[in-house]
């Protein structure tokens, strides 16, 4: 599933550079993840890098966007074709 950023986000900017898909940007109140670009880091890393670097654990799985590893891998390949 794609990750999402919850309200705990302090807009520190640390996650932006960690994303291999450039899926994270500044939003109106918190930073936001574009679910069309998030692959849970499948294709690039072993685990979600944004969740790893976020100091307040605001990058969490989005329960409304459950996707298989195959779907995520295909998205990664399409994004980097
Ligand atoms: S899980 Fe990976 S691909 Fe998704 S937003 Fe976080 S760093 Fe980017
Ligand atoms: S690293 Fe965490 S607190 Fe910082 S901008 Fe990203 S989601 Fe927000």
Domain boundaries, the chain: 3-79
pLDDT of residue 24: 98
For ligand 2, whether the C-beta of 54 sits within 6 Å is yes
Residue 10: how many other CB atoms lie within 10 Å: 12
Ligand 1 atom at minimal distance to the Cα of residue 18: 7
- Residue 63 · residue 4 · CB < 8 Å: no
Ligand 1 atom at minimal distance to the Cα of residue 34: 5
Class for the domain spanning 3-79: alpha beta
- Please list every protein residue whose CB sits less than 6 Å from any atom of ligand 1: 3, 18-21, 23-24, 33, 38-41, 48-50, 59
Residue 77: how many other CB atoms lie within 10 Å: 11
The per-residue b/e assignment along 16-44, b for 16 or more CB within 10 angstroms, e otherwise, is: eebbbbebbeeeeeebebebebbbbbbbe
Q: Which residues of the chain have pLDDT under 50?
A: none
């Amino acid at each position: 599933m794609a990750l999402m950023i919850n309200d705990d986000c302090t807009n520190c900017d640390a996650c932006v550079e960690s994303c291999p898909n450039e899926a994270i940007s500044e939003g109106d109140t918190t930073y936001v993840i574009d679910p069309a670009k998030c692959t849970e880091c499948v294709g690039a890393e072993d685990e979600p890098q944004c969740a790893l670097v976020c100091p307040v654990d605001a990058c969490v799985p989005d329960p409304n966007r459950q996707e298989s590893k195959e779907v995520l891998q295909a998205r990664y390949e399409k994004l980097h074709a």
